[in-house]
Chain A
Protein backbone atom coordinates (compact mmCIF):
# COMPACT_ATOMS: atom_id res chain seq x y z
CA UNK A 1 0.00 0.00 0.00
CA UNK A 2 1.13 3.52 -0.75
CA UNK A 3 2.52 5.30 2.27
CA UNK A 4 0.87 8.69 2.10
CA UNK A 5 1.85 10.20 5.41
CA UNK A 6 5.20 8.95 6.60
CA UNK A 7 6.70 9.69 10.00
CA UNK A 8 10.23 8.40 10.63
CA UNK A 9 12.17 8.63 13.88
CA UNK A 10 10.39 11.75 15.00
CA UNK A 11 11.42 13.17 18.35
CA UNK A 12 10.12 16.22 20.12
CA UNK A 13 12.02 17.89 22.93
CA UNK A 14 10.78 21.04 24.63
CA UNK A 15 13.25 23.37 26.29
CA UNK A 16 11.94 24.17 29.75
CA UNK A 17 13.42 25.98 32.70
CA UNK A 18 14.16 22.65 34.34
CA UNK A 19 16.07 21.52 31.28
CA UNK A 20 15.02 19.66 28.17
CA UNK A 21 11.75 17.72 28.30
CA UNK A 22 11.46 14.83 25.88
CA UNK A 23 7.80 14.60 24.87
CA UNK A 24 8.07 12.16 21.97
CA UNK A 25 10.87 9.68 21.32
CA UNK A 26 11.35 7.72 18.13
CA UNK A 27 7.91 7.80 16.53
CA UNK A 28 7.57 5.77 13.33
CA UNK A 29 4.20 5.70 11.66
CA UNK A 30 2.96 5.34 8.13
CA UNK A 31 -0.58 6.17 7.09
CA UNK A 32 -1.98 5.05 3.77
CA UNK A 33 -4.14 7.13 1.52
CA UNK A 34 -7.76 6.95 2.61
CA UNK A 35 -6.90 5.42 5.94
CA UNK A 36 -8.45 6.49 9.25
CA UNK A 37 -5.93 6.35 12.09
CA UNK A 38 -6.61 7.22 15.71
CA UNK A 39 -4.00 8.22 18.27
CA UNK A 40 -5.04 7.19 21.75
CA UNK A 41 -3.27 7.41 25.09
CA UNK A 42 -3.51 8.92 28.52
CA UNK A 43 -3.43 12.69 28.76
CA UNK A 44 0.09 14.04 28.57
CA UNK A 45 1.29 11.20 26.35
CA UNK A 46 2.09 13.58 23.54
CA UNK A 47 -0.64 12.54 21.13
CA UNK A 48 -1.68 16.15 20.57
CA UNK A 49 1.98 17.09 20.18
CA UNK A 50 2.29 14.52 17.41
CA UNK A 51 -0.81 15.92 15.71
CA UNK A 52 0.61 19.46 15.97
CA UNK A 53 3.81 18.22 14.35
CA UNK A 54 1.83 16.80 11.44
CA UNK A 55 -0.14 20.05 11.24
CA UNK A 56 3.15 21.94 11.15
CA UNK A 57 2.25 24.08 14.16
CA UNK A 58 5.48 22.85 15.79
CA UNK A 59 8.75 21.56 14.37
CA UNK A 60 10.10 18.17 15.39
CA UNK A 61 13.55 18.24 16.95
CA UNK A 62 14.58 15.11 15.06
CA UNK A 63 13.25 12.81 12.38
CA UNK A 64 11.45 13.34 9.09
CA UNK A 65 7.81 13.71 8.20
CA UNK A 66 6.57 13.37 4.66
CA UNK A 67 3.11 13.99 3.27
CA UNK A 68 2.65 12.79 -0.32
CA UNK A 69 6.43 12.66 -0.62
CA UNK A 70 6.93 16.25 0.42
CA UNK A 71 8.50 17.26 3.68
CA UNK A 72 6.26 18.92 6.24
CA UNK A 73 8.06 22.18 6.91
CA UNK A 74 5.29 24.28 8.40
CA UNK A 75 1.54 24.67 8.57
CA UNK A 76 -0.30 24.61 5.29
CA UNK A 77 -3.78 24.23 3.84
CA UNK A 78 -2.99 20.73 2.54
CA UNK A 79 -3.68 19.62 6.11
CA UNK A 80 -7.14 20.48 7.42
CA UNK A 81 -7.22 20.78 11.18
CA UNK A 82 -10.34 20.49 13.34
CA UNK A 83 -9.61 21.82 16.80
CA UNK A 84 -11.20 20.56 19.98
CA UNK A 85 -12.77 23.91 20.75
CA UNK A 86 -13.99 24.51 17.17
CA UNK A 87 -11.91 27.72 16.85
CA UNK A 88 -14.42 29.47 14.63
CA UNK A 89 -13.88 33.20 14.36
CA UNK A 90 -16.76 34.72 16.32
CA UNK A 91 -17.05 37.83 14.12
CA UNK A 92 -17.60 35.80 10.96
CA UNK A 93 -20.75 33.90 10.04
CA UNK A 94 -20.58 30.16 9.43
CA UNK A 95 -20.43 30.90 5.72
CA UNK A 96 -17.61 33.42 6.14
CA UNK A 97 -15.64 31.10 8.40
CA UNK A 98 -15.67 28.39 5.76
CA UNK A 99 -15.17 30.93 2.99
CA UNK A 100 -11.95 32.16 4.61
CA UNK A 101 -10.46 28.69 4.20
CA UNK A 102 -11.87 28.08 0.72
CA UNK A 103 -10.64 31.45 -0.49
CA UNK A 104 -7.15 30.71 0.79
CA UNK A 105 -6.91 27.47 -1.18
CA UNK A 106 -8.88 28.10 -4.35
CA UNK A 107 -9.05 31.88 -4.91
CA UNK A 108 -6.05 31.77 -7.23
CA UNK A 109 -7.58 29.27 -9.63
CA UNK A 110 -11.34 29.61 -9.42
CA UNK A 111 -13.89 32.42 -9.93
CA UNK A 112 -15.79 33.85 -6.97
CA UNK A 113 -19.03 32.06 -7.77
CA UNK A 114 -17.23 28.74 -7.69
CA UNK A 115 -15.75 29.56 -4.28
CA UNK A 116 -19.21 30.30 -2.91
CA UNK A 117 -20.50 27.07 -4.32
CA UNK A 118 -17.71 25.19 -2.57
CA UNK A 119 -18.66 26.81 0.75
CA UNK A 120 -22.30 25.89 0.26
CA UNK A 121 -21.38 22.32 -0.63
CA UNK A 122 -19.18 22.00 2.46
CA UNK A 123 -21.94 23.30 4.73
CA UNK A 124 -24.42 21.04 3.01
CA UNK A 125 -22.20 18.04 3.74
CA UNK A 126 -22.49 18.71 7.47
CA UNK A 127 -26.21 19.55 7.11
CA UNK A 128 -25.76 23.19 8.06
CA UNK A 129 -26.60 24.94 4.81
CA UNK A 130 -29.59 26.49 6.59
CA UNK A 131 -27.31 28.13 9.20
CA UNK A 132 -24.81 29.75 6.83
CA UNK A 133 -25.73 33.31 7.86
CA UNK A 134 -25.58 32.56 11.58
CA UNK A 135 -22.73 33.58 13.87
CA UNK A 136 -20.96 30.94 15.97
CA UNK A 137 -22.54 32.17 19.21
CA UNK A 138 -25.98 31.61 17.71
CA UNK A 139 -25.52 27.88 17.15
CA UNK A 140 -24.96 24.89 19.44
CA UNK A 141 -21.62 23.32 20.31
CA UNK A 142 -22.25 20.36 18.02
CA UNK A 143 -23.12 22.67 15.13
CA UNK A 144 -19.96 24.70 15.71
CA UNK A 145 -17.89 21.56 15.55
CA UNK A 146 -19.64 20.63 12.30
CA UNK A 147 -18.76 24.02 10.83
CA UNK A 148 -15.17 23.35 11.95
CA UNK A 149 -15.25 20.04 10.07
CA UNK A 150 -16.81 21.73 7.03
CA UNK A 151 -14.06 24.35 7.09
CA UNK A 152 -11.38 21.68 7.17
CA UNK A 153 -13.01 19.51 4.48
CA UNK A 154 -13.76 22.44 2.18
CA UNK A 155 -10.04 22.92 1.65
CA UNK A 156 -9.87 19.41 0.18
CA UNK A 157 -6.85 18.66 2.32
CA UNK A 158 -4.54 15.73 1.72
CA UNK A 159 -5.08 14.71 5.29
CA UNK A 160 -7.68 15.67 7.84
CA UNK A 161 -6.31 16.18 11.36
CA UNK A 162 -8.79 15.97 14.21
CA UNK A 163 -7.70 16.99 17.71
CA UNK A 164 -10.21 15.44 20.11
CA UNK A 165 -12.92 16.85 17.88
CA UNK A 166 -15.88 15.73 19.98
CA UNK A 167 -14.27 15.94 23.40
CA UNK A 168 -16.21 19.01 24.45
CA UNK A 169 -19.63 17.68 23.40
CA UNK A 170 -22.27 15.75 25.33
CA UNK A 171 -22.50 12.01 24.75
CA UNK A 172 -25.57 12.05 22.48
CA UNK A 173 -24.27 14.82 20.24
CA UNK A 174 -20.89 13.12 20.17
CA UNK A 175 -22.38 9.83 18.96
CA UNK A 176 -24.38 11.65 16.31
CA UNK A 177 -21.33 13.53 15.03
CA UNK A 178 -19.20 10.37 15.04
CA UNK A 179 -21.71 8.74 12.71
CA UNK A 180 -21.78 11.81 10.50
CA UNK A 181 -18.00 11.92 10.38
CA UNK A 182 -17.85 8.25 9.38
CA UNK A 183 -20.26 8.94 6.50
CA UNK A 184 -18.34 12.03 5.40
CA UNK A 185 -15.03 10.21 5.42
CA UNK A 186 -16.55 7.35 3.45
CA UNK A 187 -18.03 9.78 0.93
CA UNK A 188 -14.88 11.86 0.45
CA UNK A 189 -12.29 9.11 0.84
CA UNK A 190 -10.36 11.35 3.22
CA UNK A 191 -7.18 10.35 4.98
CA UNK A 192 -7.68 11.06 8.67
CA UNK A 193 -5.52 11.23 11.77
CA UNK A 194 -7.59 11.72 14.89
CA UNK A 195 -6.46 12.27 18.46
CA UNK A 196 -8.90 10.90 21.00
CA UNK A 197 -9.13 9.58 24.54
CA UNK A 198 -12.40 7.79 23.88
CA UNK A 199 -11.91 4.04 23.32
CA UNK A 200 -15.29 3.52 21.62
CA UNK A 201 -14.76 6.47 19.33
CA UNK A 202 -11.34 5.15 18.32
CA UNK A 203 -12.55 1.60 17.57
CA UNK A 204 -15.78 2.69 15.91
CA UNK A 205 -14.19 5.12 13.47
CA UNK A 206 -10.67 3.86 12.79
CA UNK A 207 -8.96 1.45 10.47
CA UNK A 208 -6.08 1.39 12.92
CA UNK A 209 -5.76 2.51 16.51
CA UNK A 210 -2.30 3.73 17.47
CA UNK A 211 -1.83 3.34 21.22
CA UNK A 212 0.81 5.54 22.79
CA UNK A 213 2.81 4.90 25.93
CA UNK A 214 2.85 7.37 28.77
CA UNK A 215 5.18 10.33 28.58
CA UNK A 216 7.78 11.60 29.02
CA UNK A 217 9.53 10.18 25.97
CA UNK A 218 6.26 8.69 24.74
CA UNK A 219 6.40 6.25 21.87
CA UNK A 220 3.99 4.06 19.99
CA UNK A 221 3.14 1.08 22.21
CA UNK A 222 0.89 -1.02 20.04
CA UNK A 223 -1.06 -0.64 16.83
CA UNK A 224 -4.43 -2.33 16.61
CA UNK A 225 -5.95 -3.21 13.25
CA UNK A 226 -9.69 -2.70 13.32
CA UNK A 227 -10.94 -5.09 10.65
CA UNK A 228 -14.62 -4.48 11.21
CA UNK A 229 -16.53 -4.06 7.95
CA UNK A 230 -17.91 -0.66 7.02
CA UNK A 231 -20.37 0.93 7.27
CA UNK A 232 -20.37 0.26 10.98
CA UNK A 233 -23.54 0.42 12.98
CA UNK A 234 -23.01 1.41 16.57
CA UNK A 235 -26.07 -0.49 17.80
CA UNK A 236 -25.12 -3.73 16.08
CA UNK A 237 -21.52 -3.38 17.22
CA UNK A 238 -22.56 -2.94 20.85
CA UNK A 239 -23.14 -6.69 21.05
CA UNK A 240 -20.61 -7.73 18.41
CA UNK A 241 -17.97 -10.12 19.79
CA UNK A 242 -15.18 -8.84 17.52
CA UNK A 243 -15.91 -5.27 18.49
CA UNK A 244 -15.84 -6.23 22.15
CA UNK A 245 -12.52 -7.97 21.70
CA UNK A 246 -10.93 -4.97 19.95
CA UNK A 247 -12.31 -2.64 22.53
CA UNK A 248 -10.94 -4.80 25.34
CA UNK A 249 -7.52 -4.82 23.71
CA UNK A 250 -7.37 -1.02 23.79
CA UNK A 251 -8.69 -0.93 27.34
CA UNK A 252 -6.10 -3.49 28.43
CA UNK A 253 -3.33 -1.44 26.90
CA UNK A 254 -4.53 1.74 28.59
CA UNK A 255 -5.46 0.35 31.98
CA UNK A 256 -3.14 -2.62 32.45
CA UNK A 257 0.04 -1.94 30.54
CA UNK A 258 0.00 1.84 30.71
CA UNK A 259 -1.87 2.51 33.90
CA UNK A 260 -1.09 5.98 35.02
CA UNK A 261 -0.79 6.95 38.64
CA UNK A 262 -3.73 9.11 39.57
CA UNK A 263 -2.64 12.66 38.96
Chain B
Protein backbone atom coordinates (compact mmCIF):
# COMPACT_ATOMS: atom_id res chain seq x y z
CA UNK B 1 0.00 0.00 0.00
CA UNK B 2 2.70 2.40 1.05
CA UNK B 3 4.99 1.37 -1.78
CA UNK B 4 2.17 1.77 -4.33
CA UNK B 5 1.55 5.24 -3.01
CA UNK B 6 5.15 6.24 -3.38
CA UNK B 7 5.24 5.20 -7.05
CA UNK B 8 2.02 7.03 -7.80
CA UNK B 9 3.33 10.17 -6.15
CA UNK B 10 6.61 10.15 -8.01
CA UNK B 11 4.76 9.62 -11.28
CA UNK B 12 2.55 12.60 -10.54
CA UNK B 13 5.65 14.55 -9.75
CA UNK B 14 7.10 13.64 -13.13
CA UNK B 15 3.94 14.70 -14.88
CA UNK B 16 3.96 17.99 -13.06
CA UNK B 17 7.57 18.48 -14.05
CA UNK B 18 6.96 17.90 -17.74
CA UNK B 19 3.86 20.09 -17.67
CA UNK B 20 5.91 22.76 -15.97
CA UNK B 21 8.60 22.48 -18.60
CA UNK B 22 6.08 22.83 -21.40
CA UNK B 23 4.21 25.70 -19.84
CA UNK B 24 7.36 27.38 -18.68
CA UNK B 25 7.17 30.36 -20.98
CA UNK B 26 3.52 31.05 -20.23
CA UNK B 27 3.98 30.65 -16.53
CA UNK B 28 6.98 32.94 -16.55
CA UNK B 29 5.09 35.57 -18.53
CA UNK B 30 2.06 35.50 -16.28
CA UNK B 31 4.26 35.21 -13.24
CA UNK B 32 2.16 32.32 -11.98
CA UNK B 33 3.55 29.87 -9.54
CA UNK B 34 4.00 26.45 -11.08
CA UNK B 35 1.27 24.28 -9.61
CA UNK B 36 2.59 22.04 -6.88
CA UNK B 37 2.08 18.32 -7.35
CA UNK B 38 -0.95 16.88 -5.62
CA UNK B 39 -0.50 16.13 -1.95
CA UNK B 40 -0.12 12.54 -0.82
CA UNK B 41 -3.39 10.85 0.05
CA UNK B 42 -3.62 9.87 3.70
CA UNK B 43 -1.95 6.53 4.29
CA UNK B 44 -2.60 6.22 7.99
CA UNK B 45 1.01 6.90 8.92
CA UNK B 46 2.36 10.27 7.98
CA UNK B 47 5.12 9.95 5.41
CA UNK B 48 7.53 12.78 4.79
CA UNK B 49 8.78 13.13 1.23
CA UNK B 50 11.76 15.32 0.64
CA UNK B 51 11.86 16.24 -3.02
CA UNK B 52 14.50 18.33 -4.65
CA UNK B 53 13.62 19.42 -8.12
CA UNK B 54 16.07 19.50 -10.98
CA UNK B 55 16.29 23.02 -12.36
CA UNK B 56 14.00 23.86 -15.27
CA UNK B 57 16.78 24.22 -17.84
CA UNK B 58 18.35 20.89 -16.88
CA UNK B 59 15.05 19.09 -17.44
CA UNK B 60 14.68 20.74 -20.84
CA UNK B 61 18.26 20.02 -21.85
CA UNK B 62 17.78 16.42 -20.79
CA UNK B 63 14.58 16.16 -22.86
CA UNK B 64 16.31 17.59 -25.91
CA UNK B 65 19.29 15.26 -25.57
CA UNK B 66 16.95 12.32 -25.16
CA UNK B 67 15.03 13.36 -28.30
CA UNK B 68 18.20 13.62 -30.37
CA UNK B 69 19.49 10.31 -29.04
CA UNK B 70 16.19 8.62 -29.92
CA UNK B 71 16.38 10.12 -33.41
CA UNK B 72 19.94 8.89 -34.00
CA UNK B 73 18.98 5.49 -32.58
CA UNK B 74 16.04 5.18 -34.94
CA UNK B 75 18.26 6.21 -37.82
CA UNK B 76 20.83 3.52 -36.89
CA UNK B 77 18.10 0.87 -36.75
CA UNK B 78 16.65 1.98 -40.09
CA UNK B 79 20.05 1.95 -41.78
CA UNK B 80 20.72 -1.59 -40.45
CA UNK B 81 17.31 -2.74 -41.66
CA UNK B 82 17.49 -1.19 -45.10
CA UNK B 83 21.14 -1.88 -45.80
CA UNK B 84 21.25 1.11 -48.19
CA UNK B 85 20.96 4.05 -45.84
CA UNK B 86 24.37 5.00 -44.38
CA UNK B 87 24.52 4.67 -40.60
CA UNK B 88 25.11 7.61 -38.23
CA UNK B 89 28.72 6.73 -37.48
CA UNK B 90 29.91 6.58 -41.09
CA UNK B 91 27.93 9.71 -41.93
CA UNK B 92 29.64 11.46 -39.05
CA UNK B 93 33.03 10.41 -40.36
CA UNK B 94 32.15 11.71 -43.80
CA UNK B 95 30.92 14.94 -42.25
CA UNK B 96 34.20 15.45 -40.41
CA UNK B 97 35.96 15.17 -43.77
CA UNK B 98 33.51 17.50 -45.52
CA UNK B 99 33.74 20.15 -42.81
CA UNK B 100 37.48 19.68 -42.52
CA UNK B 101 37.96 21.54 -45.79
CA UNK B 102 34.85 23.60 -46.42
CA UNK B 103 36.41 26.18 -48.73
CA UNK B 104 38.22 24.29 -51.46
CA UNK B 105 37.73 25.01 -55.13
CA UNK B 106 38.31 22.37 -57.79
CA UNK B 107 36.60 23.81 -60.82
CA UNK B 108 33.11 25.27 -61.12
CA UNK B 109 31.23 22.09 -60.19
CA UNK B 110 33.38 20.85 -57.32
CA UNK B 111 33.63 23.26 -54.43
CA UNK B 112 33.62 22.95 -50.64
CA UNK B 113 30.41 22.88 -48.62
CA UNK B 114 31.17 26.34 -47.26
CA UNK B 115 31.12 27.84 -50.75
CA UNK B 116 27.92 26.00 -51.57
CA UNK B 117 26.13 27.27 -48.46
CA UNK B 118 27.44 30.81 -48.91
CA UNK B 119 26.39 30.88 -52.56
CA UNK B 120 22.88 29.72 -51.64
CA UNK B 121 22.70 32.28 -48.83
CA UNK B 122 23.84 34.96 -51.27
CA UNK B 123 21.04 34.11 -53.69
CA UNK B 124 18.49 34.07 -50.88
CA UNK B 125 19.82 37.40 -49.58
CA UNK B 126 19.69 39.07 -52.98
CA UNK B 127 16.26 37.73 -53.96
CA UNK B 128 14.87 38.47 -50.53
CA UNK B 129 16.43 41.94 -50.42
CA UNK B 130 14.86 42.88 -53.74
CA UNK B 131 11.53 41.48 -52.55
CA UNK B 132 11.75 43.57 -49.37
CA UNK B 133 12.46 46.70 -51.42
CA UNK B 134 9.30 46.08 -53.43
CA UNK B 135 7.08 44.25 -50.94
CA UNK B 136 7.35 46.49 -47.87
CA UNK B 137 6.45 49.79 -49.59
CA UNK B 138 3.73 47.97 -51.52
CA UNK B 139 2.39 46.53 -48.27
CA UNK B 140 2.29 50.01 -46.71
CA UNK B 141 0.34 51.32 -49.68
CA UNK B 142 -2.11 48.42 -49.72
CA UNK B 143 -2.63 48.80 -45.97
CA UNK B 144 -3.20 52.53 -46.17
CA UNK B 145 -5.47 52.69 -49.22
CA UNK B 146 -8.50 50.43 -49.30
CA UNK B 147 -8.95 50.92 -53.04
CA UNK B 148 -5.44 49.70 -53.91
CA UNK B 149 -5.89 46.75 -51.58
CA UNK B 150 -9.16 45.79 -53.28
CA UNK B 151 -7.41 46.09 -56.61
CA UNK B 152 -4.54 43.84 -55.59
CA UNK B 153 -6.48 41.30 -53.52
CA UNK B 154 -7.63 38.93 -56.30
CA UNK B 155 -4.20 38.84 -57.93
CA UNK B 156 -2.32 38.24 -54.69
CA UNK B 157 -4.80 35.58 -53.58
CA UNK B 158 -4.42 33.78 -56.89
CA UNK B 159 -0.64 33.98 -57.23
CA UNK B 160 0.26 33.28 -53.61
CA UNK B 161 -0.54 29.54 -53.64
CA UNK B 162 1.47 28.96 -56.84
CA UNK B 163 4.63 26.94 -56.21
CA UNK B 164 7.59 29.27 -56.65
CA UNK B 165 9.22 26.71 -58.94
CA UNK B 166 6.43 27.21 -61.47
CA UNK B 167 7.94 30.66 -62.02
CA UNK B 168 11.35 29.22 -62.88
CA UNK B 169 10.77 28.65 -66.62
CA UNK B 170 9.54 32.22 -66.97
CA UNK B 171 12.70 33.38 -65.22
CA UNK B 172 14.88 31.29 -67.52
CA UNK B 173 13.00 32.70 -70.49
CA UNK B 174 13.48 36.31 -69.36
CA UNK B 175 17.04 36.13 -68.05
CA UNK B 176 18.43 33.39 -70.29
CA UNK B 177 20.68 32.32 -67.41
CA UNK B 178 20.30 30.03 -64.42
CA UNK B 179 21.64 32.26 -61.64
CA UNK B 180 19.35 35.29 -62.11
CA UNK B 181 16.43 32.92 -62.68
CA UNK B 182 17.03 31.31 -59.27
CA UNK B 183 17.28 34.73 -57.61
CA UNK B 184 14.08 35.77 -59.32
CA UNK B 185 12.27 32.68 -57.98
CA UNK B 186 13.39 33.65 -54.47
CA UNK B 187 12.17 37.17 -55.14
CA UNK B 188 8.71 35.95 -56.15
CA UNK B 189 8.25 33.61 -53.21
CA UNK B 190 9.54 36.15 -50.64
CA UNK B 191 7.25 38.85 -51.93
CA UNK B 192 3.85 37.63 -50.75
CA UNK B 193 4.45 37.22 -47.00
CA UNK B 194 6.03 40.66 -46.83
CA UNK B 195 3.26 42.42 -48.74
CA UNK B 196 0.52 40.69 -46.78
CA UNK B 197 2.02 41.07 -43.30
CA UNK B 198 2.97 44.70 -43.83
CA UNK B 199 -0.52 45.52 -45.12
CA UNK B 200 -2.17 43.74 -42.19
CA UNK B 201 0.14 45.60 -39.79
CA UNK B 202 -0.81 48.96 -41.26
CA UNK B 203 -4.49 48.13 -40.91
CA UNK B 204 -3.98 47.07 -37.28
CA UNK B 205 -2.47 50.37 -36.13
CA UNK B 206 -4.72 51.27 -33.19
CA UNK B 207 -7.07 54.19 -33.80
CA UNK B 208 -5.86 55.71 -30.51
CA UNK B 209 -2.39 56.28 -31.93
CA UNK B 210 -3.82 57.81 -35.07
CA UNK B 211 -5.98 60.06 -32.89
CA UNK B 212 -2.85 61.21 -31.08
CA UNK B 213 -1.38 62.05 -34.47
CA UNK B 214 -4.52 63.98 -35.33
CA UNK B 215 -4.84 66.01 -32.14
CA UNK B 216 -1.16 66.92 -32.40
CA UNK B 217 -1.71 67.43 -36.16
CA UNK B 218 1.66 65.85 -36.85
CA UNK B 219 3.15 66.12 -40.31
CA UNK B 220 2.83 63.13 -42.67
CA UNK B 221 6.53 62.41 -42.17
CA UNK B 222 6.20 62.42 -38.38
CA UNK B 223 3.11 60.23 -38.57
CA UNK B 224 5.09 57.75 -40.63
CA UNK B 225 8.29 57.75 -38.56
CA UNK B 226 6.79 58.08 -35.07
CA UNK B 227 3.54 56.14 -35.40
CA UNK B 228 3.01 54.06 -38.55
CA UNK B 229 6.47 52.59 -38.93
CA UNK B 230 7.03 51.54 -35.29
CA UNK B 231 3.49 50.19 -35.06
CA UNK B 232 3.92 48.12 -38.22
CA UNK B 233 7.48 46.99 -37.54
CA UNK B 234 6.60 43.80 -35.60
CA UNK B 235 4.22 42.71 -38.38
CA UNK B 236 6.82 43.56 -40.98
CA UNK B 237 9.45 41.48 -39.20
CA UNK B 238 7.04 38.55 -39.10
CA UNK B 239 6.71 38.96 -42.86
CA UNK B 240 10.49 39.02 -43.19
CA UNK B 241 10.83 35.88 -41.09
CA UNK B 242 8.21 33.99 -43.10
CA UNK B 243 9.78 35.18 -46.36
CA UNK B 244 13.26 34.04 -45.45
CA UNK B 245 11.86 30.71 -44.25
CA UNK B 246 10.11 30.14 -47.57
CA UNK B 247 13.12 31.38 -49.53
CA UNK B 248 15.43 28.92 -47.77
CA UNK B 249 12.97 26.10 -48.52
CA UNK B 250 12.75 27.05 -52.17
CA UNK B 251 16.44 27.71 -52.88
CA UNK B 252 17.33 24.01 -52.51
CA UNK B 253 14.75 22.99 -55.10
CA UNK B 254 15.57 25.88 -57.42
CA UNK B 255 19.29 25.07 -57.38
CA UNK B 256 18.60 21.42 -58.11
CA UNK B 257 17.01 22.61 -61.33
CA UNK B 258 19.44 25.37 -62.25
CA UNK B 259 22.77 23.80 -61.27
CA UNK B 260 26.04 25.67 -60.69
CA UNK B 261 27.20 26.18 -57.12
CA UNK B 262 24.84 25.99 -54.14
CA UNK B 263 23.64 23.62 -51.49
CA UNK B 264 20.70 22.45 -53.63
CA UNK B 265 22.97 21.73 -56.55
CA UNK B 266 25.37 19.92 -54.20
CA UNK B 267 22.54 17.60 -53.12
CA UNK B 268 21.71 16.83 -56.72
CA UNK B 269 25.37 16.36 -57.65
CA UNK B 270 25.93 13.93 -54.76
CA UNK B 271 22.82 12.04 -55.83
CA UNK B 272 24.38 11.65 -59.27
CA UNK B 273 27.55 10.43 -57.53
CA UNK B 274 25.36 8.13 -55.39
CA UNK B 275 27.03 9.61 -52.31
CA UNK B 276 24.09 9.24 -49.91
CA UNK B 277 26.18 10.24 -46.87
CA UNK B 278 26.75 13.65 -48.38
CA UNK B 279 23.04 14.02 -49.10
CA UNK B 280 22.28 13.36 -45.44
CA UNK B 281 24.97 15.86 -44.44
CA UNK B 282 23.38 18.38 -46.79
CA UNK B 283 19.98 17.83 -45.17
CA UNK B 284 21.49 18.60 -41.77
CA UNK B 285 23.30 21.64 -43.11
CA UNK B 286 20.12 23.00 -44.71
CA UNK B 287 18.24 22.38 -41.46
CA UNK B 288 20.85 24.01 -39.23
CA UNK B 289 21.22 27.07 -41.47
CA UNK B 290 17.42 27.43 -41.64
CA UNK B 291 17.19 27.16 -37.86
CA UNK B 292 19.94 29.75 -37.43
CA UNK B 293 18.20 32.17 -39.81
CA UNK B 294 14.91 31.74 -37.96
CA UNK B 295 16.51 32.29 -34.54
CA UNK B 296 18.42 35.31 -35.77
CA UNK B 297 15.25 36.92 -37.09
CA UNK B 298 13.33 36.07 -33.92
CA UNK B 299 16.10 37.75 -31.97
CA UNK B 300 15.79 40.86 -34.13
CA UNK B 301 12.00 40.79 -33.81
CA UNK B 302 12.24 40.58 -30.02
CA UNK B 303 14.62 43.50 -30.01
CA UNK B 304 12.02 45.62 -31.83
CA UNK B 305 8.89 44.44 -30.08
CA UNK B 306 7.41 46.77 -27.53
CA UNK B 307 5.39 45.34 -24.68
Contacts and interface: CB of A to CB of B under 8 A. Distances in A.
Contacts of B306: 90-91, 135, 137
B215 A81 contact: yes
Interface string B217-230: 11000100011001
A interface SS class: loop
B298 interface: no
Contacts of A91: 230-231, 306
Interface stretch (A16-24, A72-80, A170-178, A241-249): A72-80
B230 A89 contact: yes
A97 B214 CA distance: 15
Contact of A77 (B208, B216, B227): B216
A20 to B, nearest CB: 23
B300 to A, nearest CB: 15
A100 B226 contact: yes
A89 B226 contact: yes
Contacts of A56: 214-215
Contacts of A57: 211, 214-215
A98 to B, nearest CB: 11
A89 B209 contact: yes
B307 interface: yes
B226 A92 contact: yes
Measured as residues with beta carbon below 8 angstroms from the partner, the interface class of chain A is 20 to 34
A66 B293 CA distance: 58
B227 A137 contact: no
Interface residues of B, number: 16
B154 to A, nearest CB: 26
Contacts of B227: 89
Contacts of B211: 57, 81, 83, 87
A248 B211 CA distance: 36
A153 interface: no
Contacts of A76: 215, 217
B208 A104 contact: no
Contacts of B214: 56-57, 75
B287 to A, nearest CB: 35
A92 B222 CA distance: 13
Nearest to A86: B208
Kindly name the residue among B208, B214, B216, B218 whose own CB sees the greatest number of chain A CB atoms within 10 A: B216
Nearest to B214: A75
A57 B208 CA distance: 11
A58 B85 CA distance: 72
Contacts of B217: 74-77, 104
A55 B209 CA distance: 15
A85 B207 CA distance: 12
Interface of B: 208-209, 211-212, 214-218, 222, 226-227, 230-231, 306-307
Pairs of residues from A and B, 3 with the lowest C-beta to C-beta distance, nearest first: A137-B307, A91-B230, A90-B306
28 contacts: A55-B215, A56-B214, A57-B215, A75-B217, A76-B217, A77-B217, A81-B211, A83-B211, A83-B212, A87-B212, A89-B209, A89-B212, A89-B226, A89-B227, A89-B230, A90-B306, A91-B231, A92-B226, A100-B216, A100-B218, A100-B222, A100-B226, A101-B216, A104-B216, A104-B217, A135-B306, A137-B306, A155-B216
Given A89-B226, A92-B226, 17 more contacts: A57-B215, A75-B216, A80-B215, A81-B215, A83-B208, A83-B211, A83-B212, A85-B208, A87-B208, A87-B211, A89-B209, A91-B231, A91-B306, A101-B216, A104-B216, A104-B217, A137-B307
